[in-house]
Copies of this chain bind each other. A is one copy, B any other.
Amino acid sequence: MTLMHEMIRTHPEHSASQDLADAIQLISECAQVCTMCADSCLGEPDVANLVACIRLDLDCASICRTTSEIVARQTQTPRSLVRAQLQACIEACSMCAEECEMHAEHMGHCRVCAETCRRCEQACRDLLSSLS
C-alpha cells in the first residue's frame, strides 16, 4: 500500500477510493518531473532552443502542484472549483506533452516528461468524469 492509499484510507470521511490515491500520486509526481525537466533543459548546451519547453515545464509544474493539493483534500469538497482546476491541469499537461514530444528523440528527460504528462492528463480526465 502506498502512502497516498494509507492517507486516503485513514481520512475521517472514508469516501475515497484507490483510483483517487493513484491519481493524487501521479499528479504530484508529474509536478516533480516537470520541475526536473525544466532544470535539465536549463543544463543543456542548446538551452537557447529550449525556451518554450522550459516555460511550459514551469507552468505545468506549478499547475500540477496546486492540482495535487486540491484533489487530495476530501473535506467539504467544492466540486466546481475542483473541476475547473482539473481542466487547467488537463490543458497544461497536454501542451507540455506536445512540446516535450518534439525533443523526446534527443533528450531522455523530455521523453520521460512527455510520457508522464500524457498519463497525468488521462488521470485528470478520468477524475473529471467521476466528478460530473
Contacts and interface: CB of A to CB of B under 8 A. Distances in A.
A88 interface: yes
Contacts of A91: 80-81, 84-85
Nearest to A30: B3
A18 interface: no
Contact of A10 (B11, B61, B75, B108): B108
Interface residues of A, number: 68
A77 B51 CA distance: 11
A58 interface: yes
Interface of A: 3-4, 6-13, 24-25, 28-29, 31-33, 35-37, 39-40, 42-45, 47-48, 51-52, 54-56, 58-63, 65-66, 68-70, 72-78, 80-81, 84-85, 87-88, 90-92, 95, 107-109, 111-113, 116
